[in-house]
Structure 1
C-alpha cells in the first residue's frame, strides 16, 4: 500500500499538468498580456490619435511656455490639461478683487490701466490710456483682453526677435502705443499692471489661445482698402467721437473723452495699431463704440484712411525712412509710402517728445 501511494501521486500530478497545458492551449489567444496591454494603451499617443493621454501630452508640450517644466502649480491659473473648456472662460467679477495687500496692487493696476494719464504720466508721451485699445478695463473679448494675454507669456515676438516675458510686453506698449518711456523692471507701475493682468487671468488655462484673444483677423477685403472710401466712413461713423480732424475730444473738465487717432498726441509708427490689418480687426469688432456695425470692407477702408495720417516717429528710426520701413515695416504698414504726395514718416514728429496739453 505504501509503495502504491507515490505512484498515485505522480499519476495525479501528470493529469493536472496535462489539464493546465490543455487550458493554456485552448484559451482566447486575442487577450493581451499585461505587458501587451500597457504597450497597446500607449500606442495611440505615438500615432497621434486623440486619446486622453495624447491630448494631455499636447497640452503640456506647448511652444513658448514653460508649463512643461513646472513642478509647482502656477498660482491663480489652471494647469495644462486642467481646464474643462477654454471657450467658456470669463475673468473674475470686479467685486472679487481680494481685500488684502495683493488686492490693493490689483486695484492700482486697474487704475493705471483705465487712467494712464493720471497714474503713470511719467511714462506716457501722448493722450492715450491703456483702455483705449483694450476696452472695458481690459476685459472685453476681441479687444486684446488682458486675461487672454497673461498666460501666453513668455513668448517669442517677431517684433524684437526674442522671447519676451509679460513685463517686457507691457514695456513695449509704453514705448510704442503710449509713445512714451518703458517703466523699469520693479517699478510700481509695471508691477501693478502685471498684478492686474494676473488677477484677470485667474483660472485661465496656461498656454491656451483663448477665444477673444487679441483682435479678430479679417479676411482680405473684396476690394483693396481705399483711402477715399475710408475718409467717407470716418466722416460718417467716427468723426462724431474722434473729431473731424481725428484729434479726439475732451470733456468739460479737460480730460480726454475720446482719443486722437493720428497726429503728435496719438500712437507712434511703431505701435501695432499703425498696421492697417490690426486696426481693421479692432475697428470691425469694437467700433463705433457700443454699436459695431461696420462691414469688413468699411473696417479695412477706414483703417487705411486712419493709418495713412502722420503720427510720431517710430522709436526704431534709423535716420532714414526708407531703411526703417524696409527693416521694420511689412505689407500692412503705410510707413514710408507716399499718400497725397507726402512720404509718411518723413515729417513725423520725434517719438516720445510730444508736449502735454494744458488742461483747465
Structure 2
C-alpha cells in the first residue's frame, strides 16, 4: 500500500526549496489535489480568490512582492538569520500561502490589528509574523522594519487584494474538527503514521532532505517547530491534517485518524518553548499551555514528561 502513496501525512508539507525558483506564484500544480469525496470537496463555501502573478505590477512594489513570495517558500535559506530549524512558511500555509482552509495569507492580513490571547495584547500583522519566526521557525524575531518582514507583508497585502477588511472570509483558517468520542489515542496514531506518513517523513519523524534542504519537513526533534508553535496543539494539527494530508489527498483520513496521528506526532520531544518560565516546564505549562487547546506540553507520556526540549 505504501508504494501507491504519492505523499504522506504530516502536520506540515513543503515545496522543496530547490524547486521554489521554478514555481510560478499562482501555480498550485505541485499540490495535485485529489479530494477523497464530493462531500469533502463541496462542503465548504467558496473561498476568496487571490490575484494571479500576471496581475502583479512591473514596478518596485511588484519586485518586493516577488521577494516576499521567495522568502515565504524558501524561508530557511532566504531568511536564514531568523530561522532555527528546517521549516519554511509554506509548511503550514500551503500553496505558497494561497490555499483555502490552510491559513492563507489573504485570510490573515485583513484581520489585523487583532487581540491575541497568546501574548495578551493587540498585535499588528508584523507582530503576528514575528511570532511565527519565534515559534514555528524556532528562530529569532526579525526587526519590525527588516527587509524580510517588509517583503512578507507586501506579499500578504498583494494576495489580499480586494478582500474585505476585518471580515472572516471562508477558508481563512484550518477547518475545525471535533475530538473523537473517548479522546485521542496515541497508539492508534502510531499505526496511522506508519501507514501513511513514514514513507515521506521517516520512521523517526526526521523528514527527508535533498542536500541541505528538507523536501519533507521534520515533524519532531531539533529541526521541527518548537513547543510554543500553534501546531503543537493536537486540535490544530488534527484540523490541518484532516483538510490537507496526505498531500493531494486531503479528506481521506477520518476525523478520528487525524486526531490520533496528530497526538502521536505531538507526543515526541521538540525544541523548548522560548517562553520557558524560570527554567520550569510545570510553571510554563501553567502560564502558557494549561488553556492553550489540547496539548501535551508538561504531560507525562510513556513515563516521560514532555516539554524538556531538544538541542
TM bin, normalised by shorter chain, reads 0.7 to 0.9
Q: CA deviation at 1:349?
A: 2.5
Could you tell me which of 180, 194, 204 is aligned with 1:245?
Answer: 204
How far apart, in 1, do the equivalents of 2:181 and 2:221 lie? 30
Paired positions, count: 263
Q: CA deviation at 1:175?
A: 0.2
2:291 matches 1:325: no
Write out per-residue CA displacement over residues 255-304 of structure 1, whole angstroms, 9 at most, x where no aligned residue. 21000000011000000000000000000001000112111000000000
Higher percent of residues as helix = 1
How far apart, in 1, do the equivalents of 2:114 and 2:237 lie? 22
Name the counterpart of 1:256.
214
Name the counterpart of 1:193.
152
Could you tell me which of 339, 342, 345 is aligned with 2:301?
Answer: 339
Q: CA deviation at 1:222?
A: 2.5
SS in 2 for 1:213: coil
SS in 2 for 1:205: coil
How far apart, in 2, do the equivalents of 1:304 and 1:97 lie? 41
Q: CA deviation at 1:243?
A: 0.8
Write out per-residue CA displacement over residues 296-338 of structure 1, whole angstroms, 9 at most, x where no aligned residue. 0000000000011000000100111111001100351100000
**Runs of 5+ consecutive residues of structure 1 not aligned to the other structure:** 1-85, 351-360
How far apart, in 1, do the equivalents of 2:153 and 2:122 lie? 17
Could you tell me which of 62, 66, 72 is aligned with 1:103?
Answer: 62
How far apart, in 1, do the equivalents of 2:209 and 2:182 lie? 35
**Runs of 5+ consecutive residues of structure 2 not aligned to the other structure:** 1-44
CA RMSD of aligned residues (A): 1.2
Contact between 1:223 and 1:297, CA under 8 Å: does it hold in 2?
no
2:249 matches 1:274: no
Contact between 1:87 and 1:210, CA under 8 Å: does it hold in 2?
no
2:89 matches 1:130: yes
Write out per-residue CA displacement over residues 49-77 of structure 1, whole angstroms, 9 at most, x where no aligned residue. xxxxxxxxxxxxxxxxxxxxxxxxxxxxx
Name the counterpart of 2:75.
116
Instruction: Decide which moves more: 172-181 or 337-346.
Output: 337-346
How far apart, in 1, do the equivalents of 2:234 and 2:47 lie? 30
Could you tell me which of 216, 227, 233 is aligned with 2:175?
Answer: 216
Q: CA deviation at 1:87?
A: 4.6
Contact between 1:179 and 1:268, CA under 8 Å: does it hold in 2?
yes
1:102 and 1:255, CA in 2 relative to 1: closer, same or farther beyond 3 A? same
Name the counterpart of 2:241.
283
Q: CA deviation at 1:165?
A: 0.5
How far apart, in 1, do the equivalents of 2:103 and 2:281 lie? 29
2:307 matches 1:349: no
Which is bigger in relative contact order (C-alpha 8 A, separation at least 6)? 2
SS in 2 for 1:156: strand
Contact between 2:189 and 2:260, CA under 8 Å: does it hold in 1?
yes
Name the counterpart of 2:99.
140
SS in 2 for 1:235: helix
Name the counterpart of 2:108.
149
Q: How does 1:160-239 map to 2 (within 5 A)?
A: 160-239=119-198
How far apart, in 2, do the equivalents of 1:176 and 1:214 lie? 18
How far apart, in 1, do the equivalents of 2:203 and 2:57 lie? 43
Q: TM-score, normalised by structure 1?
A: 0.72
